[in-house]
Chain A
Amino acid sequence: MSKINIEKMLTELQELMGDKLQISRDDSFSWLNINSEALLDLMGRLKNDYGFNYLANLTSVDYGEAFEMVYHLYSIPDNAKVGVKTRIPGNAAEVDSLVSVWSTADWQEREVFDLMGIRFKGHPNMIRILLPDEFEGHPLRKDFKVER
């Protein structure tokens, strides 16, 4: 497989996705900030058309009025990398599951659900993974109060 040309990929995706996609960069990653409705479509393309076969990390950040889902993708053996972010409103914390794209999303999404309380549409087994089933609340949310 030929080496992924990241710049070319970014241009192509920008053309395709239009205003649903904003591209930004920091020191180590090119970031694709995608509208949450187009997330599954974008991720499918990244994996199947551009060879990002390895979803390394999947996590979330609570910004109060919104949650941000953060994905770090790599390709083996091309060694290219790209980051994807999507924002979802804090009062309707739901986003498409990526289990159908990468199996590794399974437990990582369950962890986000467990600790951050974000639901994943289309996840085959949306139950807690680290905390007991009867636990109330989601500890990584900023409004979760820790008793000392």
Chain B
Amino acid sequence: MLQTEQYIINIGPQHPSTHGGLHVEAVMDGEHIVDSIVHLGYVHRSVEKIAESRTYPQFVPYTSRLDYLASHLPTLGYCQTVEKMLGVAVPERAEYIRVIMAEFSRIASHMLFVGSLAIDLGATTGLIYCFRDRERIMDLFEMTSGQRLIASYMRIGGVSHDLPDTFIPAALSFINDFPKMIEEYEGLIVGNEILQARLKGIGVLNAEEAIEYGVTGPNLRACGVEYDIRKVDPYGIYDRFEFDLPLGSKGDSWDRLLVRMQEMAQSVRIIEQALQELPEGEIKAKVPRIIKPEKGSEVYHRIESSKGELGYYIVADGGEKPYRLHVRAPSFVNLMVLPIISRGEKLQDIIANIATLDPVLGESDR
């Protein structure tokens, strides 16, 4: 009998396919992965500790830096949490603007997902197409906040600036061109036979395991579980919009790609409705300059970010700074299944699995 032994291959932390500082030790038996050990913390900034030494409004910019690929979403979650504590009602116009920005963030994040998945699997051109289109969303963000990537546009009580006159025409032109973009991705990336072979039947996660491990967002819906916080626990004004939940059936990497492709179209649907109904009026509620939620009040608020359930748990002690702030990061929890879905597969499959789980390390490491 031939003597064999297991060996370890390090993937990352400095490797483009890890989307930031993620380090995975793949324990190999020949070509097959026996186990994979995930090491996190390369971009840990201890935002939860920082929050305890910042006032409530001062913490807003830090939230943008959690999920920097869809920066409006974590900011939205944080602002809504504090508003819930204070009992502040956000003006109608601001609610609509928030939905528009949140859904554009989701599209930007999913576009980056599709593009980076393509480049991770060796299809460099795919990335360029997605980045070209994502750039137009970045321009929209720049118009409203002056920032492209980490916008910090939302405020406790509303948003920082009203939409400029150029915004709505630019947004409508994006929506108008959107079907063409999807058509291009379908042809160039999704329709690519090599890409399909690399994703179909790879990284299979069944629905029961997904719930057991707390997987949320598109990754959970790819397993066929109809669970989206915008639907089951609507926040803001999400109960006013019509949209469908794209579902997968097998829970493999391929389904995780398809679900996100379809979700972009649903986000566009929401933006169209929001632009149509966008009312005139105030963009920020009257919030006291110094925010002091009542002593002992605590809130857990969750939103559907582009990665899954993003939750904030805040405990107040009556002062102007949070006593305790915890971020329930979907990327962190979703990554937990990486060893499970990669077991028994080949080394190249773990690259596809990391890409399709779509972690953003700023959020998972906090």
Instruction: Please tell me if B40 contacts chain A, counting CB pairs below 8 Å.
Output: yes
Residue ranges of A at the interface with B (Cβ–Cβ < 8 Å): 26, 28-29, 53-57, 59, 61-62, 70, 72, 76-77, 79, 83, 102-104, 106-108, 111, 115, 128-132, 139-140, 144, 146
Specify the chain B residue showing the minimal Cβ separation from A107.
B336
Answer whether A61 and B53 are a contact pair too, CB < 8 Å, given A77-B227, A79-B233, A103-B213: no
Q: How far is the CB of A139 from chain B (nearest CB, A)?
A: 5
Q: How far is the CB of A128 from chain B (nearest CB, A)?
A: 8
Contact A139 B311 (CB under 8 A): no
Contact B315 A61 (CB under 8 A): yes
| A83–B313 alpha-carbon span in the complex (Å) | 12
| A79–B234 alpha-carbon span in the complex (Å) | 12
Q: How far is the CB of B43 from chain A (nearest CB, A)?
A: 10
Select A140's contact among B48, B213, B335, beta carbons within 8 Å. Answer: B48
Select B298's contact among A26, A76, A77, A140, beta carbons within 8 Å. Answer: A26
CB neighbors of A among B315-358 (8 A): 315, 323-324, 326, 328, 332-333, 335-336
Given A130-B44, A146-B53, 16 new contacts (CB under 8 A): A26-B298, A29-B300, A57-B311, A61-B315, A61-B323, A62-B324, A72-B300, A72-B311, A72-B313, A77-B225, A104-B214, A106-B336, A107-B332, A107-B333, A132-B41, A139-B46
Number of A-B residue pairs with CB-CB distance less than 8 Å in the complex they form = 82
Select A77's contact among B226, B309, B332, B335, beta carbons within 8 Å. Answer: B226
Contact B211 A76 (CB under 8 A): yes
| A133–B77 alpha-carbon span in the complex (Å) | 32
Q: How far is the CB of B221 from chain A (nearest CB, A)?
A: 11
Q: How far is the CB of A123 from chain B (nearest CB, A)?
A: 14
Report chain A residues within 8 Å CB of B324.
61-62, 140
Answer whether A129 and B41 are a contact pair too, CB < 8 Å, given A107-B332, A146-B49: yes
Specify the chain A residue showing the minimal Cβ separation from B214.
A104
Report chain B residues within 8 Å CB of A57.
300, 311, 313, 326, 328
Specify the chain B residue showing the minimal Cβ separation from A70.
B313
Q: How far is the CB of A100 from chain B (nearest CB, A)?
A: 12
Select B225's contact among A26, A76, A132, beta carbons within 8 Å. Answer: A76
Residue count of chain B within 8 Å CB distance of chain A: 36
Contact B333 A108 (CB under 8 A): yes
Instruction: Please tell me if B170 contacts chain A, counting CB pairs below 8 Å.
Output: no
| A144–B49 alpha-carbon span in the complex (Å) | 10
| A17–B53 alpha-carbon span in the complex (Å) | 39
25 contacts between A and B (CB under 8 A): A26-B298, A53-B212, A54-B214, A55-B214, A56-B328, A57-B300, A57-B311, A59-B313, A72-B311, A76-B225, A79-B232, A103-B209, A103-B212, A103-B336, A104-B214, A104-B333, A104-B336, A107-B332, A108-B333, A115-B49, A128-B41, A129-B40, A130-B40, A131-B41, A131-B44
Specify the chain B residue showing the minimal Cβ separation from A129.
B40
Instruction: Please tell me if B110 contacts chain A, counting CB pairs below 8 Å.
Output: no
Q: How far is the CB of A122 from chain B (nearest CB, A)?
A: 17
Specify the chain A residue showing the minimal Cβ separation from B87.
A27
Contact A56 B302 (CB under 8 A): yes
Instruction: Please tell me if B250 contacts chain A, counting CB pairs below 8 Å.
Output: no
Query: Which label, helix, strand, loop or mixed, suits the secondary structure of the A interface?
Result: loop
| A61–B317 alpha-carbon span in the complex (Å) | 12
| A128–B44 alpha-carbon span in the complex (Å) | 13
Instruction: Please tell me if B365 contacts chain A, counting CB pairs below 8 Å.
Output: yes
Report chain B residues within 8 Å CB of A144.
49
Report chain A residues within 8 Å CB of B333.
104, 107-108
Report chain B residues within 8 Å CB of A55.
214
Contact B326 A59 (CB under 8 A): yes
Q: How far is the CB of A29 from chain B (nearest CB, A)?
A: 7
Interface centre among B214, B227, B298, B309 (most CB of A within 10 A): B214
Q: How far is the CB of A40 from chain B (nearest CB, A)?
A: 17
Specify the chain A residue showing the minimal Cβ separation from B333.
A104
Instruction: Please tell me if B284 contacts chain A, counting CB pairs below 8 Å.
Output: no
Contact B49 A140 (CB under 8 A): yes
Report chain A residues within 8 Å CB of B307.
none
Answer whether A102 and B46 are a contact pair too, CB < 8 Å, given A59-B313, A70-B313, A76-B227: no
Contact A130 B365 (CB under 8 A): yes
| A28–B301 alpha-carbon span in the complex (Å) | 9
Q: How far is the CB of A140 from chain B (nearest CB, A)?
A: 6
Interface string of B212-239 (1 = CB under 8 A from A): 1110000000000111000011000000
| A12–B13 alpha-carbon span in the complex (Å) | 50
Specify the chain A residue showing the minimal Cβ separation from B324.
A61
Report chain A residues within 8 Å CB of B226.
77
Q: How far is the CB of B304 from chain A (nearest CB, A)?
A: 12
Interface centre among A59, A83, A139 (most CB of B within 10 A): A59
Q: How far is the CB of B83 from chain A (nearest CB, A)?
A: 13
